[in-house]
Amino acid sequence: MLYVIGLGLSDERDITVKGLEAVRSSERVYLESYTSILMVDKQRLEDFYGKEVTIAYRETVESCSDEILKDADKINVSFLVVGDPYGATTHTDLVIRARELGVPVKTIHNASIMNAIGATGLQLYAFGQTISMVFFTDSWRPDSFYDRVKENSAIGLHTLCLLDIKVREQSLENMIRNRLIYEPPRYMTVNEAVEQLLEIEEKRQENAYTKDTLAVGVSRVGSDDQIIRAGTLEQLLTVDFGKPLHSLVIVGHRLHLLEAEVLRENAVDLEGLNRILLRDYNIDK
């Protein structure tokens, strides 16, 4: 059996009982490490699971899936994914390859940022399309996400922005020279995401949002030290959200009274937020 197991969002204890039983029944355990990260190191997982854990980098999963699936028709193999296996990033290719090899597959789900973002107080059914934001470079500043935000905004829905992480990435020079030297990990912050959003709005000028648009920045959702802060995009530029991982929500105009109340609890500037709620949403305190 190939088990594809969601680990949840925070630490080694977030795995489900069913997931833990599957891990302990497996002869090999892999941890996918390139789409997200847990807030604890591999040793903590190994101590809790009682199993050795092998880090599965992008190239391992995408190019060497047969190594992961070796003998999985005879033994149990666990493939661990931060969050939910079919949350922000799917691993369909590995599942399809397993089935082609006649390996039974069982998925064990867990919390993902896609549902845990409800901790902001914003109602999940009021979210539209989720976007992913990548780090800009000097020569590559993609704005394809903008159209999705604009579509969500047009019908008043919130937009969840998933922020880029760079793990085990090579510089262009090292790639060209085929040198296996990797850059230090990078994790996009809420502040960097807002800077990029405002840059693209300045470029496009189609009013999908402005610097005065309400937004909610979050970090380390699901952990004991999670941060949730609500304010305008401009206000969030200077909020310190601390360690990764960060996410951002652009608030839609169909805001419920209960959603507004939770925004108040997490406001960067309560008086300013109340003025915006009254002016833009007709919600009085």
| Known binding residues for S-adenosyl-L-methionine | 9, 84, 87, 112-113, 163, 221, 246
- Local structure of 54: helix, strand or coil: strand
C-alpha closest to that of 72 among 52, 96, 101: 101
Pick the closest to residue 213 from 164, 259, 153, 269 (CA basis): 153
Q: What is the rounded distance in angstroms from the CA atom of residue 9 to the CA atom of residue 13?
A: 10
For residue 93, the tally of other CB atoms under 10 A from its CB is: 11
Q: What is the DSSP string of 71-125?
A: TTTTS-EEEEESB-TTSSS--HHHHHHHHHTT--EEEE----HHHHGGGGS--GG
- Token output for 274: 């109340």
3-state class (DSSP) for residue 186: strand
Q: Which residues are annotated as a binding site?
A: 9, 84, 87, 112-113, 163, 221, 246
Q: Is the Cα torsion angle 14, 262, 127, 276 positive or negative in sign? A: negative
